[in-house]
Amino acid sequence: MKPLSGNIEIFGEVLSRNKQQLWKIRQKIGFLFQNPDDQLFAPTIQEDIAFAARNLKLDEKEVKNRVDWALKSVNLSEFKSQSPFNLSWGQKKRAALAGLLVMKPRLLILDEPFANLDFISIHNHLKIIEELRKSEKMTILFTSHNLFFVEKWATKMLVIDKGQQIFEGIPAEGLKNSEVRKLLGSYEEIAKLIEQSK
């Protein structure tokens, strides 16, 4: 659905079709795909991550510093010379995240960041992302169908259904909202369904 009116404002600026403005804003936003194979392409992890830094026209010393920092941030330093396609799913997700971190974004958008991960990988990802949020003062926006992440991790919640905003606010309040519960269910309802399926 195409918007008929209004403006989009980001980082205090109203977006326009000005290419220079869009280029500057894009440098401040990192978008992590749900499938890391859609994001990784270079022969080695190190080269993949360096691509984004070089795209910012940084000098090679700064590229190296940022790549080393990004690899360390996602606990992949020892794998830097390996092909991203030989990694586990969780490691691929971290490699794709490192490719965004070298840009030092102010806003990180994560599409279903915990999809298809085992519990230990989810725990590790949460630790990494939470540490980045604190140390780099990033705003992190994530999509999820999983109530656990919404309730335990999000500080603000936006629920959209068929292009319409249903709720915006604190997750604890949202999960009590009747329209939200109708759409997403609740822990109690999910527990009942699990019990009934036994």
pLDDT interval class at 193 (50, 70, 90): low
pTM for the whole structure: 0.81
The whole-angstrom separation of Cα 117 and Cα 123 is 10
Q: How is residue 83 written in tokens? A: 């092909």
| pLDDT tens digits for range 109-132 | 999 888 888 888 888 888 888 888
Enumerate residues 6+ apart whose C-beta is below 8 A from 148: none
| pLDDT tens digits for range 25-55 | 888 999 999 999 999 999 999 999 999 899 8
**Cα–Cα distances in angstroms (integers) from residue 88 to residues 55, 91, 98, 180, in the given order:** 27, 5, 15, 35
The whole-angstrom separation of Cα 76 and Cα 124 is 12
The whole-angstrom separation of Cα 59 and Cα 65 is 10
List, in order of start, the domains of the chain with CATH numbers.
Answer: 9-143 (3.40.50.300), 155-198 (no CATH)
Q: What is the pLDDT of residue 58?
A: 92
